[in-house]
Amino acid sequence: MNFKNDKRFKSFIVTIIVVILLVTVIPIPYYVEKPGTSENLRDYVSVDGKRDKYDGSFMLTTVAVQQATIASLVSGHLNHTNDVISKKEMMGTSSGKEYEEMQHYHMETSQNIATKVALDLAKKPYKVDYKGIYVMSIDEHSNFENKLNVGDTIVKVDDQKIERTEDLTKYIKTKKIDDSVKITYEQGGKTKETKGDLIKLPETKKAGIGITLVDHTEIDTKEEINFSTESIGGPSAGLMFTLELYSLITGKDLRNGQDIAGTGTIDSEGTIGRIGGIDKKVIAADHEGADIFFAPNDEIDPEIKKKHPDVKTNYEEAIESAKKNRLEIKIIPVKTVDDAIKYLEKGK
C-alpha cells in the first residue's frame, strides 16, 4: 500500500512539474508588448569621437517584446499597460530571424536619414551614396519568395541600374501582371541573379514584385559619425537620433538641463512619422524621469478615419496613456524635427 501511495505521489509531482513547465516555460505563438526602456543617446552616438556632455539627456524609448507563455499571456491580458498580439500580427509571414534582420535594416536606414537631416539643419555639406535598395520583406504570394532574402540589396532589374526605390517603382509601372523580370542583387558580398513573374498586388491591383523595399544609402561627410545600437532595432528613433546629432554637430545645448524623450520615424525632409506602441513608450519615458516627451502629430487619412472612427493620432494616444496612467511627463506634439528644435530653443 505504501509503495502504491509513493508511486501515485511521484506521478502527481511529475504531473505538477509538467504543468508548470507548460504554463511558464513553453513558448506559444503570441507576444506580450509592454513598456520598455528609455536609453540616453550619449551612450549610443558620437561625432568625431566626442559624445554629448551637456546637462540633461536626449532619450530614445523602446517597447519590450517577449514571446508569451500561457502564464505571461494571462498576466498580459490582466495588465492594462500590456498588449497581447499574435505572431502573425507582429511578424507577418517572416521568420524570427527575418524579422530581426528587418528591424536591423530599419535601424540602419533611420540612422542614415537622421544623419542627412541633422547635416541639412546644421547646414553642413555631405554626399548621399545610393547603393541600391534593401529587401525588407517578401510577400508569401511573391514569385521571389525563397529566391530573395531579407537584407539583400537589389542593384539592377532587367539589366537596368536601380539606385533608389523610385527607380524600381517607375520601371515596374511599364510592366504587366505575369511579365517576367530579372533581378540582380547582392547577397553576402556576392552578386547574384534570379527571375520571376510579377504578381497582382492586393493593395493597388497593379503589377508588382511583392516585396517591401527601402533605399540602401551611405552618407559621406567630413564629420565622423558613429552609432552603437547593435542591441536595438526598428525605425522609430529617427527623431531623437536627429536631435542628438544636431546638438553634437552644431555644438548647441538645446536641453537646458532637461531630460527629453520622444519617438517617431523621419523622412529625408525631416517630417516625423507615426510609430507603434507610443502608449508604452511614454510610460517608459516617465518612469525614467523624463521631463518632456515629443510625440508625432501625424494626420489620419479621412478614408481611414471613416472606416476606423476610433483611430487616434500618435499625440492623442500619448495624451490618453499619460492621463490613464497618471503620468507627470509633458507631451509635446511635433510634425517635423525643426518643430522640436524650435520648441527647445524657445524654452531656453
Is 281 a catalytic site residue? yes
Ranked by mean pLDDT, the top range of 84-88, 234-238, 261-265 is: 261-265
Q: What are the structural domains of the chain?
A: 35-63+107-126+223-346 (3.30.230), 128-218 (2.30.42.10)
Residue 219 DSSP SS3: strand
Question: 61 with 286: CB under 8 angstroms?
Answer: no
Among residues 200, 196, 184, which one has the least CA distance to residue 143? 196
Ranked by mean pLDDT, the top range of 80-94, 227-241, 281-295, 298-312 is: 281-295
What does the alpha-carbon distance between residue 294 and residue 160 come to, in Å, rounded to a whole number?
Answer: 42
DSSP letters spanning 103-148: HHHHHHHHHHHHHHHHHHHTT---EEEEEEEEEEEE-TT-TTBTTB
DSSP code of 336? B
For the residues 263-268, what does the mean pLDDT come to?
94
pLDDT given for residue 168 in this prediction: 93
pLDDT given for residue 33 in this prediction: 93
pTM of the model: 0.84
Residue 159 DSSP SS3: coil
Confidence of residue 348 (pLDDT cuts 50, 70, 90): low
Among residues 281, 255, 284, 279, which one has the least CA distance to residue 343? 255
pLDDT given for residue 28 in this prediction: 84
pLDDT digit string, tens, across residues 96-116: 788 888 888 889 899 999 999
Which is more confidently placed, 244 or 28? Answer: 244
Ranked by mean pLDDT, the top range of 85-89, 162-166, 215-219, 222-226 is: 222-226
Q: Is 19's pLDDT higher than 80? A: no
Q: Which of 236, 247, 280, 321 is catalytic?
A: 236
pLDDT given for residue 140 in this prediction: 86
CA-to-CA separations, 89 to 30, 94, 95, 99, in angstroms, rounded: 9, 11, 12, 12
For the residues 313-334, what does the mean pLDDT come to?
97
Q: Is 167's pLDDT higher than 70? A: yes
pLDDT given for residue 5 in this prediction: 63
Amino acid found at 212: T
pLDDT given for residue 12 in this prediction: 73
Q: Provide CB contacts within 8 A for 162, sequence distance 6+.
A: 132, 133, 154, 155, 156, 168, 171
Percent over 90 (pLDDT), the chain: 61
Q: Which of 72, 137, 281, 321 is catalytic?
A: 281
H or E element at residue 194: strand 190-197
What does the alpha-carbon distance between residue 309 and residue 311 come to, in Å, rounded to a whole number?
Answer: 6
Q: Is 314's pLDDT higher than 80? A: yes
pLDDT given for residue 3 in this prediction: 53
pLDDT given for residue 269 in this prediction: 93
Which is more confidently placed, 66 or 243? Answer: 243
Is 236 a catalytic site residue? yes
For the residues 258-273, what does the mean pLDDT come to?
95
Which is more confidently placed, 185 or 87? Answer: 185
Question: 61 with 234: CB under 8 angstroms?
Answer: no
* Average pLDDT taken over every residue of the chain: 90
Question: 279 with 255: CB under 8 angstroms?
Answer: no
For the residues 61-86, what does the mean pLDDT come to?
87
C-alpha R_g of the chain = 24
For the residues 181-191, what does the mean pLDDT come to?
93
Q: Is 1's pLDDT higher than 50? A: no
